[in-house]
A and B are shown apart, each in its own frame.
Chain A
Amino acid sequence: QVKLLQSGAALVKPGASVKMSCKASGYTFTDYWVSWVKQSHGKSLEWIGEIYPNSGATNFNEKFKGKATLTVDKSTSTAYMELSRLTSEDSAIYYCTRGVIRGRGSYFDYWGQGVMVTVSS
C-alpha cells in the first residue's frame, strides 16, 4: 500500500536551516508529484510547493520562494524539503503528500505523518 514516511521532529535555532525527508513506497515514485504542506499550531493548511520526481520540476507558492528548497533522490524514492533562515513563524508541522493532477493542479491522496519543527534558541 502507498506510504509516505517522514523523518522525525526537529528543534532548531533561529537563523539555522532544517532538512526533512519523505520516503515513498507502494507506488511508482516518479509518476506523481510530491507536495509539501505547512500547518501552524491550531491553524489551517498552507501549500508550500511541489516537485515532480521524474524531471525534478518544481512549482512554489510565492510565499515560500526563497524559504523552501525541494529535491528528490529517485534511487531511494525519497523527497526532501529544506527550510532556511528559520524564525519562530516557521514552527509548524510539515506534511509531505502525493499529488494527483486534477484541473490545473493537484489534490492530495496520501499524506505523511508530519514533521514537527520547533524554532527556538
Chain B
Amino acid sequence: DIVLTQSPALAVSLGQRATISCRASESVRSSMHWYQQKSGQQPKLLIYGASNLASGVPARFSGSGSGTDFTFTIDPVEADDIATYYCQQSRNDPWTFGGGTKLELK
C-alpha cells in the first residue's frame, strides 16, 4: 500500500500562510487530493489532481506537487480554516489517506 506521511500538527497565526506537506512512499504522479475536516463534521474536498480547486472552494487554498512530494497551502489563514487536513492518493489500490495535519492557531 502507498503510505502518505503528513506532519501531525501545524501552528499558524491568522492572516499568515500555512503550508502542509504530504510525502508518498512511491510516486502517485498527480493523483493526490486534499480534504478539510472540521471537528464533528465529514471531510470536504478542497483540491483534486494535486492542484485543482474543487467547486466553491476559496482561492486562498492551493495545492502543488507531483510524484512523491506535495504541498497544500492556505494564504491567508482565516479563523474558519482551523481543522484537520488530509491528503489522499488515487494512483494505486487501495486508495489511502495521510494521517492528517491539525491546523492550530498560535
B33-45 toward A: CB 8 Å interface, digit per residue (1/0)?
Answer: 1010000001111
> Does B67 sit within 8 A of A, measured CB to CB?
no
B76-99 toward A: CB 8 Å interface, digit per residue (1/0)?
Answer: 000000000010111111111111
> Does B49 sit within 8 A of A, measured CB to CB?
yes
The smallest beta-carbon distance between A46 and chain B, in angstroms, is 7
Q: Which residue of chain A is the closest to B99 with respect to CB atoms?
A: A44
Q: State how many residues of chain B have any CB contact under 8 Å with chain A.
A: 28
> Does A41 sit within 8 A of B, measured CB to CB?
no
Does A105 contact B97, Cβ atoms closer than 8 Å? no
**Contact partner of B94 among A62, A111, A113, A114, CB < 8 A?**
A62
The smallest beta-carbon distance between B16 and chain A, in angstroms, is 26
Does A104 contact B31, Cβ atoms closer than 8 Å? yes
